[in-house]
A and B are shown apart, each in its own frame.
Chain A
């Protein structure tokens, strides 16, 4: 009985739980990456006790990989030495950690997964609890296999209707970020549901929990249903019987209802994710880089939208248009199906998979005075490089349309010509 988070935590606790309780729970996986693992190793060594279960530890190289500088290389070296020393079985370098965790089947309904990365909320798309923690807690969990949680109150986001052509899950989530604000979900579980979510495929569902981080949420959750189970069975190597997990007689702190059928494409404008405007208000603004990538919007279907819109066309040659697939698996599929050829013919730069330009260390850093339109989830000042640069967040379709002109452009006219 309860909200989705109460249902998930109750399964782990072995008894009903309620918002406000503090629980010490077993965790299924403990995720960290090249940027956050070194500090976790330090905490682990300071405590000086053995690892609880090495099968639960998953370490990714994705933030600064391949190493763009000596400091990053030293981090990789340190982590590899630790993995060798401890005999850890899961060291992965095949794309953005969150995408790889999902597509490699680590995330299943009801799982508790903690990550030394703020976007670990992403796992909520599978009806799992995912949340971001600091590195010290990750080192602690390696030893204890456990983590304390306060059962959060829940904000239910009830989404009804169908989106219009040219409007995607990203536009809907940006709109929600504008409504709730950058601290609107602080400490809360934000539960996304309603007929719109029920009918949404997994690659679009992921965007909502992923960006729940940007509104301060502890987790963003979507019920585990047939879509989840079919995704796990058909798209991942995960094995077992997967449980459907839904809220049962939930008590919500607050419910936000949004009819998605009235929405136009949306943009999060510099410098805050909740500085949201309908696309038409920023159409024509000059950009210097278009970045299509990240754990938010660089899945196969996102790249397919971009390729369909750019097929047989050329992007503005004065704009750097960079495409970073979220994972190697996505990259390979796009390659096999000819999408990468289309992007390259159109003048895009396609990079290896990973976090890429999103963390401002490599793969498309911005100079002072430059403006990027990207499919990322976060537009903090200076995130992509110079603190004097600007970041605008939008859907892959808006990014593709903008790549052609070098100015923020509505994708709907182009989409109409493709579809007719």
Chain B
């Protein structure tokens, strides 16, 4: 379980991590400034396992991977949003950052709620108000990438064909 951190619609890659911090690709370094302009307290107080709850079209803008890397570096468990911008969606999967699409959860969760997420079933439980939400379960190949800690690590041990096996 983790604390919910809520964000607005069309959160773009520069709001997740401003371009000026993209001089490194180190997750821990990037995480120090994640959301620094929209929610500076996040980087200071978020705990491993906390959950990002975003608005629609989360991660729009650039194809730069710094944005999902920065969130992963903050040790968030996953991102829940009604929809993700498509390059961010792929980048998140490929670096091993789980993302769930669930408009019902986003509409109901408020900042600070205590959230349980089962990544393999897509089940989300809000311990604060007792509500349950069902996100579309992640496809198997996405879980394989997430379990390996990203596509780069996956390919160190496997052939690309193993993704679909």
Contact = CB atoms under 8 A, between A and B. Distances in A.
Contact of B141 (A22, A117, A140, A216): A22
B152 interface: yes
A380 B62 CA distance: 10
A253 interface: no
B53 to A, nearest CB: 18
B63 A136 contact: no
B61 A48 contact: no
Contact of A118 (B25, B87, B155): B87
| Interface residues on chain A, size class | 20 to 34
- Interface SS of chain A: mixed
Interface stretch (B38-46, B89-97, B112-120): B89-97
Contacts of A183: 10, 56-57, 60, 83, 85
A24 B156 CA distance: 18
Interface string A182-201: 11001100000000000000
A143 B160 CA distance: 9
Interface stretch (A39-47, A57-65, A304-312, A327-335): A39-47
B72 to A, nearest CB: 12
A135 interface: yes
A103 to B, nearest CB: 23
A118 B156 contact: no
B163 interface: yes
Nearest to A42: B25
Contacts of B86: 186-187, 216-218
A144 interface: yes
A135 B65 contact: yes
Interface residues of B, number: 34
Contacts of A36: 63
A24 B145 CA distance: 14
Contact of A116 (B12, B61, B63, B159): B63
A10 B17 CA distance: 38
Contacts of B164: 22, 24, 148
Interface string A100-125: 00000000000000001110000000
Contacts, number: 92
A201 B56 CA distance: 36
A62 to B, nearest CB: 15
A37 to B, nearest CB: 13
Contacts of A146: 160
A118 B60 CA distance: 11
Interface in B60-91: 60-65, 83-87, 89-91
A148 B141 contact: yes
A188 to B, nearest CB: 9
A216 B56 CA distance: 12
B159 to A, nearest CB: 8
Interface in A21-51: 22, 24, 36, 39, 42-43, 46-49
Given A182-B10, A183-B57, A186-B84, 17 more contacts: A24-B160, A46-B152, A46-B156, A133-B63, A134-B65, A134-B87, A134-B90, A136-B65, A137-B90, A137-B91, A140-B151, A143-B155, A148-B141, A183-B83, A186-B57, A216-B85, A216-B86
17 contacts: A24-B160, A46-B152, A47-B155, A47-B156, A48-B156, A49-B155, A132-B63, A133-B87, A134-B91, A137-B94, A140-B151, A140-B152, A182-B57, A183-B56, A183-B83, A186-B86, A187-B83
Q: Which 9 A-B pairs have the closest CB atoms?
A: A144-B160, A183-B57, A134-B91, A134-B65, A47-B155, A118-B63, A46-B152, A24-B164, A136-B94
